[in-house]
Amino acid sequence: MAEILRGKKVAILATDGFEQVELTEPRKALDQSGATTEVVSLKSGEIKGWKFKEWGDMVKVDKTLDQARVQDYDALLLPGGVINPDHLRMEPKAVQFVKDFVATGRPVAAICHGPWTLVEAGVVKGKTMTSWPSIKTDLKNAGVNWVDKEVVTDGQFITSRKPEDIPAFSTTLIGAIGSSKEKAA
């Protein structure tokens, strides 16, 4: 699997309070597959992870939303955690970035509470998705057919429920990027 994503670039949209393993583990899998990953955030510097029940490690921000351009990326990754997507969905620039990215037709992967930002962007009606169980009603209210599965793919969207799903989530995302006909500019 070493270099199947060489030349591909993935934006990881996150802010303080992202569930640490939901950013670091898919990122590691993408990097090992040859992709270039960039953390895109609301602020420059570093953002702080959430490690299950306490604060985790800092992660370097590669670009702010003001610097990132949707057309530069082949895929978008939305890690979960409760705090991270709740803050992102309240930030108009983050919601617009997600809307604009979805419009490209390229792969969008969201895990745990990550789909909250997709709901706010208004891009999930009629899709089949999964998530952390506590946001099931939010997704259903947004017009999603919610299912309880390890990983769900519906068109460009890839969703998973929780950290235990990360291996299947990462493998599915890598496969979707590798087979995507859309190319970043």
Residue 109's CATH number: 3.40.50.880
> Is residue 4 situated within a structural domain?
no
Provide the token pair at 9.
Answer: 């670039």
> Is residue 25 situated within a structural domain?
yes
Distance CA 113, CA 14 (A): 12
pLDDT single digits (tens) 112-122 = 999 999 999 99
Boundaries of domain holding 98: 9-179
- The reported pLDDT for the residue numbered 183 is 64
With a threshold of 0.85, does the pTM exceed it?
yes
> Is residue 82 situated within a structural domain?
yes
Looking at the 3D structure of the chain, how many domains does it have? Answer: 1
> Is residue 184 situated within a structural domain?
no
State the helix-helix crossing angle for 166-179 and 20-32, rounded to 10 degrees.
Answer: 40
pLDDT single digits (tens) 23-71 = 999 999 999 999 999 999 999 999 999 998 899 999 999 999 999 999 9
Catalytic residue numbers? Answer: 112-113
> Is residue 67 situated within a structural domain?
yes
Check whether 6 has a pLDDT greater than 70.
yes
Say if residues 41 and 14 touch (Cβ distance below 8 Å): yes
Check whether 181 has a pLDDT greater than 90.
no
> Is residue 44 situated within a structural domain?
yes
> Is residue 2 situated within a structural domain?
no
> Is residue 185 situated within a structural domain?
no
